[in-house]
Chains A and B, each alone.
Chain A
Amino acid sequence: MHELSICQSLVDQVEQIALSHGAKSVASVNLKIGPLSGIEPTLMQHAYPYASAGTLAAESTLVIELAPLIVRCEICGAETEAQPNCLVCGVCGDYHTKLVSGDEMTLMRVELITLEARNDV
């Protein structure tokens, strides 16, 4: 249950980016979250309005893209989808696999509402 503190540090990060670009506010924040990241996307969505209240990100939308869980087998080379508690190869069943995707917790993109742009409109 650390989603609120992660959300608060996310909002800090986003505000710094907004300030460094002279933005008026933040329109949207895009994250990519994998099932093995330890972060629950639903809880992030619940926490976001509280963490962003009173900041440049207050009116922004949090968009979470779910990363698929994919492993590559070191024995047979196959890339298959997996489950969080079963990361064995979907083809040969060996457990010597590497995670290709699934533990991401990445801030991908921020959309800013910029002062210059407002002047253009």
Chain B
Amino acid sequence: MCNTCGCNITRGNQSFAHKVVNGTTAVAVLDNLLAKNNDQATHNRQHFDKHRLLVINLMSSPGSGKTALLEATIDAFRNEYRIGVIEGDLETENDAERIRIKGVPAYQITTGTACHLDAHMVHDALHQFPLETLDLLFIENVGNLVCPASFDLGQHRNVILLSVTEGDDKPAKYPVMFRAANLLLVTKSDLLPVLDDFSLERAELNLRKLSSIAPIKLLSARRNLNLQAWLDWLSSELAQQRERIRRGETVWPQLEPDSVHSHVETI
């Protein structure tokens, strides 16, 4: 029984619930259009919390270095955390194979023509994982700055990558995506010396214009430049997640309307 689908309306109260005018009945619904996905995402999140996992959704354009970042992260955390990876692409096992070579469990979701992962696809993938043996689960979303932003997968944090070759105005062009960031990684920093048109200040200004308080970190996964700032962020997030689990709480990547203040304090 709920207040959204009409199942709470009985024969007894039906006449009060609906106004019948000229053969039509108006039913107030007030339900999110992605309610089904969001319900599944909530279920996934409960599942992750039960296994004491921190789950990160990595989103970016294709080719901005998500898999390279994961490879470098796995190498750096080899002796500290147990990592798992869900890979999303339209076709091929290439990315999952790159991760498996590092000795980390990886499951490839091939979406066919779908441009994003949804909570149901991730749920199906979870059955392929020994979740109880992991500390960190990364979901590498389909490379796309549009659709993945709208679908909650059950993750705790959104990390968005912006490679310096893409241009510093990407946050202004794709506001729905960049607004969703809990952390913005500006990647391929080793290429900055040969690019005269990327300004980190402009990228930050464009992100702040979206009312985003997300921290920004500049790094190169390939050249191992400034990777520590990202690793420290992950360790801190994992510690916070474990503290939340201890208190029986969870966290959504996107801000609830009234939680902005508490979020500011965590940065």
Contacts and interface: CB of A to CB of B under 8 A. Distances in A.
Interface of A: 1-2, 5-6, 9-10, 12-13, 16-17, 20-21, 23, 27, 31, 36-39, 71, 74, 84-88, 95-99, 105-114, 116-118, 120-121
Contact of B33 (A31, A86, A99, A112): A31
Contacts of A1: 115, 146-147
Contact of B31 (A6, A107, A121): A107
Given A38-B146, A38-B150, A117-B20, A85 B31 contact: no
Interface of B: 5-7, 9, 18, 20, 22-37, 114-116, 146-147, 149-151, 171-173, 175-176, 179, 206, 208-213, 257, 260
Nearest to B174: A85
Given A87-B211, A108-B28, A98 B176 contact: no
A33 B257 CA distance: 17
Question: What are the 8 closest A-B residue pairs judged by CB atoms, nearest first?
Answer: A117-B23, A38-B150, A87-B211, A85-B175, A105-B33, A85-B172, A95-B208, A38-B176
Given A1-B147, A21-B27, A109-B29, A114 B20 contact: yes
A108 B29 contact: yes
> Chain A interface secondary structure, helix, strand, loop or mixed?
mixed
A13 B179 CA distance: 28
Contacts of B151: 2
A95 B149 CA distance: 21
Contacts, number: 133
21 contacts: A9-B36, A12-B36, A13-B29, A16-B5, A17-B6, A20-B6, A38-B147, A38-B149, A39-B33, A74-B260, A84-B176, A85-B173, A85-B175, A86-B209, A86-B210, A106-B30, A106-B31, A111-B27, A113-B25, A114-B20, A120-B23
A10 B222 CA distance: 44
Contact of A108 (B20, B30, B208): B30
A106 B27 contact: no
Contacts of A112: 24-27
Contacts of A121: 22-23
Given A17-B6, A20-B6, A96 B213 contact: yes
B35 A13 contact: yes
A53 B156 CA distance: 38
B209 A114 contact: no
